[in-house]
Every structure is written in structure tokens, then in C-alpha cells.
Amino acid sequence: MRLIVAIRNILAFLDEVYLLLPLTSLAMLILLSPLAMAQTGFSGLRGNITDQSGAAIAGAQIVLTEPATGVQVRDALSDRQGSFEFPNLKPGTYRVKFEMTGFKAFIADNIVLDAGQTRRLDITLAVGNVQETVEAHAGAATINTEGATLEETGLADL
């Protein structure tokens, strides 16, 4: 008799667990959905750094700044292939500075990053002193997404 009561209690408990399982899953889905949607609101910036012969420049320092606040958002070094990437950036306007010993510094201003989009910025550094700067002022139309480069138009030696 005790065994039958114990089995009934276990079955009643399992009925409650199985009843709660779909409700728990539904609650988690509702709670986590905004987080998944929020991640699509970020943007990114990636590219390659080469010299004038087209060779990759490894170890170049890249500094990403938000001009509106003057805050340095991120910094990185280019990898062995001259590549860099800044994922998960909030949409907005940025300034990117590239520096490497033996080359002129390069500054790209007014880089517009839109939500859910990764922009590509391929840079060619000119041989020279790092105190010399090449500056480019660009907007959303100048830097295309994936597969384009920053054109030489509008560049000025400072």
C-alpha cells in the first residue's frame, strides 16, 4: 500500500514538472527575445592595412575614437595579414587613426556606421615619418560596405 502511495506521489510530481516545463520554456523565450533583437542593432568596422606596394602591414596601431565625446572607444593592432576588426560597435560617427613606425600616420574622419552593418575600410599607408599625417574626411557614401576601399580623393597631407 505504501508503494502505491509513493508511486502516486511521484506521478503527481512528474505531472507538475511536465506542466511547468512548457511554461518555463515560454517564459525564457519571451525574456530572451529582446536580447537577441538588440544584438542586431550593433555595427562593425573591419579592413586591411597595406603599404604602397600592396604588402600587408602587421602590428600597425589602430585607435577608434568617437569624435562627439572625444572618447577612445577601442584600440587594436593589425594582425599578420594586416587585418583588423572592431565588432559590436554602437551606430554612430567615428574617427580611426592608423600608425606604424616608418609610415605616415593615417586618420579617417567621419566614418559613419549604421545599425546592423559592418563597414570595410582598407588603408594604404605611405612611407614617411609617423609625425606626418594623411587625413581623409569620409561619410557614409565614401566608404562602402564589404569589398570597397577608401578612395584617394579628398586626401591632404598635413
Dihedral of alpha carbons 103, 104, 105, 106, sign: negative
Query: What single letter denotes the amino acid at residue 80?
Result: R
Q: What is the pLDDT along the chain (158 residues), one digit of tens a residue?
A: 777 777 777 767 666 656 555 655 555 556 555 555 445 689 999 999 999 999 999 999 999 999 999 999 999 999 999 999 999 999 999 999 999 999 999 999 999 999 988 899 999 998 887 667 676 666 544 443 343 344 433 333 33
In what side-by-side order are the strands of the sheet with 105-113?
A: 71-77, 61-66, 92-99, 105-113, 133-137, 156-157
User: How far is CA 61 from each of CA 3, 45, 76, 113, rounded to the nearest angstrom?
Assistant: 73, 15, 6, 21
Q: What is the pLDDT of residue 147?
A: 39
Q: What is the pLDDT of residue 33?
A: 54
CATH architecture entry for 42-157: Sandwich (2.60)
Q: What is the pLDDT of residue 77?
A: 96
Cα 54 off chain centre by: 25
pTM for this prediction:
0.63
How many Cα atoms are found within 13 Å in the side-chain-facing hemisphere of 3? Answer: 0
The C-alpha cell at 5 is: 502511495
CA dist 2 and 38 (Å) reads 54
**Residue ranges covered by each domain of the chain:** 2-39, 42-157
Q: What is the pLDDT of residue 40?
A: 62
Long-range Cβ contact pairs of 108-113 (< 8 A, separation 24 or more): 108/135, 108/136, 108/138, 108/143, 108/150, 109/67, 109/135, 109/136, 109/137, 109/138, 110/67, 110/137, 110/138, 110/139, 111/45, 111/138, 111/143, 112/139, 112/140, 112/143, 113/43, 113/44, 113/45, 113/89
